[in-house]
């Protein structure tokens, strides 16, 4: 198993527009040895494309992603798929659109494996991941686990260049997508801007800038040439030194991992100097660097390297034949029908949820819980239809629910959260369905009920209530409009009633039973 050195990485907060800012610090599992392999692939791609022109931009490249939502052996701890959708939306809208990349959801895997969920970096955890990869090397594979490395909780995520997969702590899969944007940069052949300094502290080896900066930094696998401030400094073989040292890009200024621990904002003014005694001015906004609150973009040369890697033979599996045909984007606002605060359920023990079909959506992710953060007694379901029924809700409880509509390449519609209070009585009628014409009786205060029914067209309906002695206690003529209709029934004595329901022009009558409290 490859030994991986810790390096500094950030967890980030997506701000408005395209500005992405850091949220906290941690560490990354893609260390010196891994970055050496990553850089080798970048240089190989560069050599292959030498004297060749990259395809002209403008055409969108749709790239498949497999999301592995891991849980322990009992199925506990799995991240909500809605967070993965938030991540993909952020990557598409705020980062990789610069390269005309759009990630689409190829598959979502729900795996219960404690060895992977609890420590995907362990020998056994890595073995399981490699076994999963054997039959799924058809997309970018991202494993979402409790932690990225149990032996070092500071590790937030990493790209494994030998296994060609990404692992992330589940806390960093959300709309704050820069942690995964960084790891995808590694996946697409981008080393750290400070490659060579992952295991070396600049201030320590220069005694806080009182000693000269070395020409090379060493690690167990070899040495890395230190980058100079000058972009005109010659290297070897007719190349510029900036093409060969550190990350190998001349438009990413020299950076000796100066963002690690830096608290001076987005304008580094520390004492670091290159071996020529030139003061460093690193690119604080670069996604492959580690400056807090500054990360936002790639450079043109980095973007070219990402595209070259995507077009390489190593990435043939990302380019499908026939090409992926994107589905139309989901836009607009999801419309909830019931239950809501103003349209509560008829009883606590059988609650029907209904919302309008969303154009272009193929899947609805339904979530419900007893708090607005959707964490208390949380339930979720993936549905292909715009309704569902729950029979396990608690009476007299306030619930919060939402639905996220999506398809394989459109997942950016932000759902509203709906609140309702579950009643403390059972369903009053024999059938709590909401088919057209079939009434529901919602009990209100003592002696009162609301009749709710769905009519396909304008019509007249007769309603009759008969008590257990066979005496008719209420008759009413209802004038229905298309859609959901409600009628109030008041001043009813507590007891059991039989109702009879008949639509004008329909020979068939409906009947049922209602208990008035």
In the prediction, which pLDDT does 10 show?
A: 34
Report the C-alpha gap between 354 and 337 in whole angstroms: 5
pLDDT for 308-343, tens place per residue?
999 999 999 999 989 999 999 999 889 999 999 988
Q: What is the mean pLDDT of residues 218-223?
A: 78
pLDDT for 66-83, tens place per residue?
999 999 999 999 999 999
In the prediction, which pLDDT does 427 show?
A: 60
Beta-carbon contacts of 53 under 8 Å, excluding residues fewer than 6 positions away, are: none
List 479's β-bridge partners, or say none.
460
In the prediction, which pLDDT does 7 show?
A: 36
Q: What is the CATH number of domain 428-517?
A: 2.60.40.380
Is the domain defined by 330-425 classed in CATH 3.40.462.40?
Answer: no
pTM: 0.80
In the prediction, which pLDDT does 479 show?
A: 87
Q: Are residues 142 and 148 in contact, defined by beta-carbon separation less than 8 angstroms?
A: no
pLDDT at 22 over 60: no
pLDDT band at 123 (very low <50, low <70, confident <90, very high): very high
Q: Are residues 56 and 145 in contact, defined by beta-carbon separation less than 8 angstroms?
A: no
Q: What is the mean pLDDT of residues 405-416?
A: 95
Q: What is the mean pLDDT of residues 157-176?
A: 95
In the prediction, which pLDDT does 380 show?
A: 95
In the prediction, which pLDDT does 74 show?
A: 93
Chain centre distance of CA 379? 18
The H or E element that residue 116 is part of is: helix 114-118
List 419's β-bridge partners, or say none.
400
pLDDT at 469 over 80: no
In the prediction, which pLDDT does 405 show?
A: 97
Report the C-alpha gap between 494 and 497 in whole angstroms: 9
Kindly list the domain boundaries of the chain, sorted by start residue: 7-318, 330-425, 428-517
Higher pLDDT, 164 or 59: 164
Q: What is the CATH number of domain 7-318?
A: 3.40.390
DSSP code string of 292-330: TTT--B--HHHHHHHHHHHTSGGGGGGS-SSPP-PPPPP
Whole-number average pLDDT of the chain: 88
pLDDT for 273-317, tens place per residue?
999 999 999 999 999 998 867 888 999 999 999 999 999 999 999
**Size (the chain), residues:** 517
Nearest to 425 by CA among 447, 401, 394: 394
Matching residue, tokens 């686990």: 145
Report the C-alpha gap between 182 and 104 in whole angstroms: 18
pLDDT over 70, % of the chain: 91
Q: What is the mean pLDDT of residues 354-367?
A: 95
Report the C-alpha gap between 478 and 426 in whole angstroms: 26
Matching residue, tokens 């959260």: 417
pLDDT over 90, % of the chain: 64
Nearest to 179 by CA among 150, 155, 157, 147: 157
Nearest to 34 by CA among 6, 56, 69, 59: 6
Report the C-alpha gap between 303 and 100 in whole angstroms: 10
Q: Are residues 340 and 420 in contact, defined by beta-carbon separation less than 8 angstroms?
A: yes
**Domain 330-425 matches domain 428-517 at the CATH topology level:** yes
List 475's β-bridge partners, or say none.
464
pLDDT for 226-258, tens place per residue?
999 999 999 999 999 999 999 999 999 999 999
In the prediction, which pLDDT does 17 show?
A: 35
pLDDT at 24 over 60: no
Most confident of 160-169, 219-228, 292-301: 160-169
């Amino acid at each position: 198993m490859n030994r991986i050195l810790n390096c500094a990485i950030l967890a980030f907060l997506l701000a408005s527009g395209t500005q992405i800012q850091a949220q906290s610090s941690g560490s990354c599992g893609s260390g010196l040895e891994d970055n050496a392999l990553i850089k080798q692939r970048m240089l190989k791609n560069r050599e292959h494309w030498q004297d060749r022109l990259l395809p002209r931009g403008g055409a969108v490249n749709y790239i498949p992603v497999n999301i592995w939502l891991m849980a322990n052996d009992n199925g506990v701890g799995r991240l909500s798929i809605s967070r993965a959708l938030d991540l993909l939306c952020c990557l598409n809208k705020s980062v990789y659109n610069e390269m005309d990349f759009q990630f689409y959801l190829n598959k979502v895997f729900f795996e219960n494996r404690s060895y992977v969920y609890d420590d995907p970096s362990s020998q056994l955890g890595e073995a399981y991941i490699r076994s999963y990869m054997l039959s799924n090397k058809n997309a970018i594979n991202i494993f979402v686990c409790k932690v990225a490395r149990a032996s070092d909780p500071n590790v937030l995520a990493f790209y494994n260049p030998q296994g060609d997969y990404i692992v992330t702590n589940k806390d960093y899969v959300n709309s704050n997508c820069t942690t995964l944007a960084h790891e995808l940069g590694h996946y697409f052949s981008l080393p750290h801007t400070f490659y060579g300094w992952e295991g070396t502290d600049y201030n320590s080896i220069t005694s806080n800038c009182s000693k000269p900066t070395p020409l090379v930094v060493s690690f167990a696998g070899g040495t890395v040439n230190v980058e100079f401030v000058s972009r005109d400094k010659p290297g070897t073989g007719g190349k510029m030194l900036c093409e060969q040292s550190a990350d190998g890009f001349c438009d990413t200024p020299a950076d000796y991992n100066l963002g690690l621990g830096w608290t001076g904002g987005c304008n580094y003014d520390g004492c670091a100097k290159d071996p020529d005694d030139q003061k460093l001015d690193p690119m604080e906004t670069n996604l492959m660097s580690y400056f807090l609150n500054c990360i936002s973009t790639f450079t043109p040369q980095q973007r070219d390297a990402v595209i070259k890697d995507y077009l390489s033979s190593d990435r043939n599996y990302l380019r499908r034949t026939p090409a992926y045909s994107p589905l139309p984007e989901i836009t607009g606002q999801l419309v909830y029908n019931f239950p809501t605060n103003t349209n509560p359920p008829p009883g606590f023990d059988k609650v029907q949820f209904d919302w309008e079909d969303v154009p272009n959506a193929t899947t609805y992710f339904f979530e419900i819980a007893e708090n607005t953060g959707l964490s208390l007694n949380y339930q979720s379901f993936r549905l292909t239809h715009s309704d569902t029924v729950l029979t396990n809700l608690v009476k007299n409880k306030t619930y919060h629910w939402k639905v996220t509509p999506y398809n394989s390449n459109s997942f950016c519609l932000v759902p509203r959260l709906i609140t309702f209070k579950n009643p403390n009585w059972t369903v009053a009628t024999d059938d709590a369905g909401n088919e057209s014409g079939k009434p529901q009786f919602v009990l209100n205060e003592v002696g009162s009920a609301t009749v709710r029914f769905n009519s396909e067209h304008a019509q007249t309906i007769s309603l009759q209530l008969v008590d257990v002695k066979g005496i008719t206690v209420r008759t009413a003529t209802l004038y229905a409009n298309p859609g959901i209709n409600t009628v109030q029934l008041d001043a009813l004595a507590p007891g059991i009633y039989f109702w009879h329901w008949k639509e004008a022009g329909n020979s068939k009558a409906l009947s049922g039973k209602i208990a008035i409290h």
